[in-house]
């Protein structure tokens, strides 16, 4: 129960580790659909997350809605 598995690499993601959960259908992010979970590494590979340098530290940022905010 409550075990989180990465869809791409099939790795079980241990509790303290962060992961990304999005609703996806046919590989496209949608409001309704199957909830897909990615480990950080695979989320980065898919372009859903990236490391950004802030104040000299690498901070992980997620893109839940790519191409929405363009400030």
Q: Name the site residues for Zn ion (rule: CB under 5 A).
A: 6, 8-9, 39, 42
Burial 22-32 (b: 16+ CB within 10 A, else e): bebeeeeeeee
Tell me whether residue 17 or residue 23 sits nearer to Zn ion (CB atom).
17
Tell me whether residue 9 or residue 30 sits nearer to Zn ion (CB atom).
9
In angstroms, how far is CA 41 from the centroid of its own chain?
A: 9
CB of 70 to Zn ion, least distance (A): 28
CB of 46 to Zn ion, least distance (A): 9
Q: Are 7 and 1 in contact (CB under 8 A)?
A: no
């Amino acid at each position: 129960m409550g075990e989180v598995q990465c869809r791409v690499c099939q790795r079980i993601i241990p509790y303290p580790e962060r992961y990304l959960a999005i609703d996806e259908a046919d590989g496209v992010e949608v409001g309704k659909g199957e909830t897909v979970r990615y480990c950080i590494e695979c989320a980065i590979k898919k372009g859903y997350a990236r490391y950004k340098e802030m104040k000299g530290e690498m901070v992980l940022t997620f893109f839940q809605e790519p191409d929405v905010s363009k400030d």
